[in-house]
Structures are given as C-alpha cells and as structure tokens.
Amino acid sequence: MTDTPARPSLLRRWGEVVGEHPWRVVAAWAVLVAMSFALALGAVGNEPLFDRLGSGEISSPGDARDARDLVEAAGGGGYADDTMIMRGVDLTDAQAQAAALEALADLNDVDGVAQVAHPLLFPDGPSDARAAPFVRPGEGQASDVVTVVGYESSLTAGELEQARARVADGLGELAEASEASSSSTGSVKDLVDAIVGQVSTDMKRGEGIALPISFVVMVLVFGGFLAAGLPILGAIASIGGALAALLGFSHLIDLDATVVNIVTVLGLGLCIDYGLLVVSRFREELRAGGDGGPGAVTHEQVVAATGRTLDRAGRTVIFSAVTVAISMAGLLFFPTVFMRASGAAGMSVVVLALLVATSLIPALCALGARRPLRKGTETSGDEGIFSRLAAWVQRAPWLVITAVLAVLVTLALPSLQLRTTSSGAELLPTSAPERQFIETLAEDFPALSSPQVSIVTTAPTEQVQRWAEQEAPQLPGVEQVGQVEQIGTTDAGDAVQVLGLRTGEVDPLGERSRDLVAALHADRPPFDAAIGGQASSLRDFTSSTLQRAPFALALVILATFALLFLMTGSVVIPVKALVMNVVSLGASLGALVWIFQDGHLQGVLDFSSVGAVEATIVVLVLAFGFGLSMDYEVFLLARIVELHERGVPTDEAVRLGLQRSGRIITSAALLMVIVFSGFVTAQVLAVKETGVALVLAIVLDATLVRMLLVPATMTVLGEWNWWAPRWMKSLHARYGITE
C-alpha cells in the first residue's frame, strides 16, 4: 500500500501538491467562501439571492404561456394589486359614506395608483350591478366590502414599493372612515413574498438542524472532534458556493424558491458523504505509511498519504459525482424553466462538492494529520456485522429477493394513483395569514378572483362574443361565462380580448377546471386562441414532461450504463443496478403518494393534504433520488470489483465487499438522511414533500436494496454477474476505469 507507482497518476500528483501546500489551499477556499456568502446575502451592494426568486408558477411551452405572453404584450398581467376586505360596513350610512369617499379620493391621488375599485365609486353606488362582486351582504345593514387598488405597470420596483406603502396607510384610513368592525389586506405579491420568505426560513432551520446532528454523528463515526469537523467545514463551504452559484443562475434564468433548498441540501449532503470517504481513507493511508506513533509522522509521509488518498478515494468521489451529475443533466431536456434551472444548478453544486472533496478536505486533513491518527485507523476486518449479514443472505438468496421485492412493489402500488398539482397559496401552512386571505377572498368573493380558465385571443370581438354566448356555456364544468374584455393592443396593433370561464370551484386546479381545459383542447374555439389558467399551465407542464421524458431517460440510462460498464467490465451488473433503482424509486414515490396525496400522517408531519403531489417535485425527486442511489451503488461495487479482479470468488467478494463498504454506506446514508430530515420540518409543502421523499428513497436504497437485494441477486447470478460480449470485454480492457 505504500509503494510508489512508476508513473503517478494525475490525481496522485495533485494530492501531493495539496499535501505540500495545504495552507494555500485552505486560504484560497476561505476567501472564496467569504465572497460567496457576501454575494448571496447582498452584503456587497448587490441584490440578495432571495430577492430574485419566484414561486408557485409552472412555465412550460404551451397555451398557458402563450396566453400570458399575449396579455403582457397588451399591457396586462402582473400581480401588482392590493386588496382589502372590510367586515361590518354599513353602506347606507351617509356620514360613513362621505368619509369613505374622501379616503378613496386620497387613494386615487397616490402616485403610481392606476385605479381604485370600491362599491361607492360606481355610477349608481352600491346598487350598481357592477358593484355586486365587491359586496357580501351580512346581518342587518352590515356588509363585507372589498376594495382593490391597481398600480401602473410602468412603475419600477422601488416606485412600486413606495406606492404600496402609501396605499397601505390609505387603506387603513379607509377602514377607519368606513367604521368597519375589522379589516384585512393582501395580494398575490404578498403571497409570493411569503412563500419565498418561508423557504428562506425553512432552509435556515433545516441546515440548523442538520449540521449539529451531523457533527455529532461524525464524532461517533471518527471518534474525534477534529476529524468529524473536516467534512462539516467542507459542507459549509459547499453551502456558500451553492448560494453564489444560484445567484449567478438567477441572472440567466428564472429560479423558483424551492430550488434553493433542494440544491443546497444536495451539496451539503454530498460534501459530508465525500468528506467521510476522504477523511477515512486519509487516516488509513497515513497509518499505513507511518512506522511510529503520531509524533513520528513526518511531512513527507503526510504529503505521500494525501497523494495516495486522492489517487484512490478521489477516483471514487469523481465517479460518484459524475453519476449524480448525469441525473441532474437529465433535467436539462425538459423545456420547463424550473426543471432546467434545477438541473443546471444541481450540476453546479455537484461540481462544487467534487472540488471541495478533492482540494479543501484533503488540505484540512494534511493540516491536522497528527490529530486524526491518535484515534486509530479506519481499517476494518474481514469479519463483522455486514459480512455476517451477507452470509445470511447468501444462504437463502431467493427468499430474500422475493421478500424485498414484495415490500418494494407494495410500497410502489399507490404511485399508480398519482395525481399532480401546482399549488399556489396551498404551499403555505393553513395558519399563514397570506394563504388565509387568498382563500377567504376566493370563497367569499368568487367573482373577484381570477377565472379558473381564460380564453385569450386577437380575434374580432363579435366572433368571440358569439362563441361565448352559444357554445361556451355548453362546455363541461362551465358555471359562468364572463364578458369579453379588451385589455389593450399589441405593438403590432392587434386588439387582445380575454374571456373568463368560471367553474364555481375555489380551487383553480379542481376536477371541473381540469375537465374544462381538456375539453377545450379536444374541441378548440373556432378562432385562434390561447387557453390560460393554472389548470392549463399544469396540463402544459405534464404534456411537455411526458414528451421530453424519453430523451432524458435515454441520456441517464445510457450514460449510467456506460460508466458502470467501464467500472465493472460487465453488462449484467449495470442492467441489474438500473432495474433495482427503478423499483426502489417506485417504492419511494408510492410512499410519497400515500402520505401527501392520500393525506396519511398529516398530524405527524404537520401539513394539510391538497389531494395531490406537486408536479415539479415528482420529477426532481426521481432525478435526485436516482443519482443518490447510484452513489451508494458505486461505493459497494467498487469494493466488490476490486476483490473480484484479485481473483476472489464472487460469493466471497460480495461478502467481503459488503463488510468493507457497509460502514461507509451506512454512515453516508445516515448522514444524508439527517440532512434531508431537516427539511421535513419545513412549512412550505413542496420543500416538505422533497425532504420526505428523499429520506424514504435513501433509507430504502441503503437498507433493502444495498444490504439485501444486491448481495442476494449477485449470489444467484454467480459468475454471470461479470458477463459481457467479447467485443465489449476488449473495450473494457482498453478503456476501463480501475484503481
């Protein structure tokens, strides 16, 4: 183990450079991490990352995006409206009316306000038919009244903020002048800001939970505070780098707030996993290269141990990072901005974790070389709990295979009933005031909420009106057909018409709304039109995802197959690994449906089921889960292949490979579960779903699959594990990846 190769590899030479100059590497990383946090948090004069995030909208090619673009081209769109609900208002009180009109006039005079809507402002006052949507009769003379303030679309962000502050004061004066018993205000912008802010809070809480617990586990794994702290320092560096990378991406593509949680927690988990592997191997190499106690370790031995660590553990880290990056790359095939943003950001974070593991962590190891050595080696004997587990499995492999597959298939069955959604206010807990306001407005004043489905067109008004009167009311799910409204003209001079169709549902993604969108796509209006609304947007997302999924799957499957073949020289092992991953992911997806869609464990996990699973989270969980599963596959196969290439029989190689890698796999999985468990406590539903799904995927993969199903299937296959056509064996002999 201490011999020096005649021609050291590039990784070994790099490791020796790091071991020779560890202070320089650490200092460079310290500067980079400080700059990353400063940029992400806006401490250097730039806009902070969280101020550049959005939430809740799925933007995919299709009718919904076309409708939105057409509305914006005509000068409409946006969500710069403030709404106030006043309770217990007497609209017949002349004195209160006069005071209210004065307050309304002041609101109209605020710079940046385009219009104010209130029952008293209609020509015939509250008795005007057009005022009816703004009034909800109560007991006696008391009524609930809504006021809507719209802003000029040309306002800058700063001007809009100033105008909203003055309007907030004006609305308070209006409520007082109207002698309302109570009032509440809100807007879609407030909702989006609340979701983004809650995501930020969830991320801090999650990392605040994950890091300390991870550190305690690392202390137990390594038997010392210093060695345990090295991967944690690397993880902190990864968080800073991830946030800075996301800030850069936010200037190129739209980023959803939930992306931040997902990619930063991925970087955090990978850095801890890779750090575990690198620190363990460094201690092993340092012990093997020394001939005395801790005080006898020389600088030359530290440099040599660092080189050997990266030459061996570094290869595993690189291979693992490539497999995870392949899963992230699959997301780039989807046309949805959210998916591509997640894929690009995820790949950048994987690269960051790789850089930390192959530079910062070994440099820290070199600086603290004598301290880790005092606690002993990381060597493991050939006999232990994992070898005994493998021997037990090998005595009845078919029974194990049958039992494990039965469990996984049973868990996967609920996924056949998967129903997706794209929540808005439902992302927040029911106690959130922003969610309560939006839901109250939709329930008490349904005519003021956006129609569930909208028809946007540049066709002549007469043609649209004729269709609205004769055919639209016959469509399935339609309860009310709105008036044809001209919202403006495009730069080309085309007048844009909008027709709202209401289904009577509070939920814009209810069954009737979905059925209506499906009917409109099957039998489109007799004029060129785009179908807008959340149900239409979700349909576009689902359609585009299904269209692009085969290309993404082909990339991930072929690339993963090629990498595993180069590693093992076998065709059977890569195919088996891919099949087992599919079964494992199906089980975690089924459990996700059972918990969140069916509403089980609502009390335990503190959430309110919306009867569906977030559409984007399903795709992300499959991509991230696949990458993490292959990560553990690499850890296990690397040991088994190494032993088999030395001439060890397959059954013994499986038993010894599981014994020598089982501790690393179990520790890595435990740490990753801890990291993702921090986000199970999230208040934002999408973040909570992600945390639960990935925890389930990791637990199932690291226990049932890696510890039971892999050794059982390899035992049954025997020497057939290593089969490949002769021409592929020649390719592996020439290009295979070996130690």
Cα–Cα nearest to 294, from 404, 346, 411, 372: 372
Which pairing describes strands 420-421 and 613-614: parallel, antiparallel, or unpaired? parallel
Query: What amino acid occupies position 14?
Result: W
If you count DSSP H runs as helices and E runs as strands, how many of each does the chain have, helices first? Answer: 25, 12
pLDDT in tens, 515-527: 999 999 998 999 8
For 695-718, what is each residue's pLDDT tens digit?
Answer: 999 999 888 998 899 899 999 988
In this prediction, residue 362 carries a pLDDT of: 92
Residue 378 in tokens: 């990381």
> Whats the size of the chain, residue-wise?
739
CA 675 to chain centre: 14
CATH class of 80-186: alpha beta
pLDDT tens-digit readout, 276-299: 888 888 887 887 765 444 456 788
Domain boundaries, the chain: 1-46+223-379, 80-186, 382-428+541-739, 451-532
* Tokens linked to 698: 């990791």
Distances in whole angstroms, Cα of residue 259 to Cα of each of 183, 254, 578 = 35, 10, 26
Q: Are 186 and 436 in contact (CB under 8 A)?
A: no
Contact 179, 105 (CB under 8 A): no
CA gap 195, 179 in Å, rounded: 32
Higher pLDDT among residues 372 and 483, named by residue:
483
Residues 413-462: pLDDT tens digits?
A: 999 999 988 877 888 888 889 888 988 888 888 888 788 899 999 988 88
The fold for domain 451-532 equals: Alpha-Beta Plaits (3.30.70)
Cα angle value 344/345/348 (rounded, 5°): 90
The phi-psi region of residue 77 (left if phi > 0; otherwise alpha if psi is between -120 and 50; otherwise beta) is left
Sign of the torsion angle spanned by Cα atoms 265, 268, 271, 275? negative
pLDDT at position 589: 93
CA 450 to mean position of chain CA atoms: 28
CA 634 to CA 317: how far, in whole Å? 9
Residue 397, pLDDT score: 93
Q: How many C-beta atoms surround the C-beta of residue 141 within 10 A?
A: 12
User: 1-46+223-379: what fold?
Assistant: Multidrug efflux transporter AcrB transmembrane fold (1.20.1640)
Task: Render the burial of 711-733: b for 16+ CB within 10 Å, e for the rest.
Answer: bbbbbebeeebbebeeeebeebe
pLDDT digits (tens, 9 = 90+) for 594-623: 999 999 988 888 888 888 998 888 888 888
CATH topology of domain 382-428+541-739: Multidrug efflux transporter AcrB transmembrane fold (1.20.1640)
% of the chain at pLDDT higher than 70:
92
- Residue spans of alpha helices (H) in 223-331: 225-250, 257-289, 299-330
Fold identical between 1-46+223-379 and 382-428+541-739?
Answer: yes
210 CB-near residues (< 8 Å, 6+ apart): 265, 268, 674, 675, 677, 678
CA distances from 710 to 394, 698, 706 (A): 11, 15, 5
Sign of CA dihedral 567, 569, 573, 577: positive
pTM listed for this prediction: 0.81
Secondary structure class of 42 (helix, strand, coil): coil
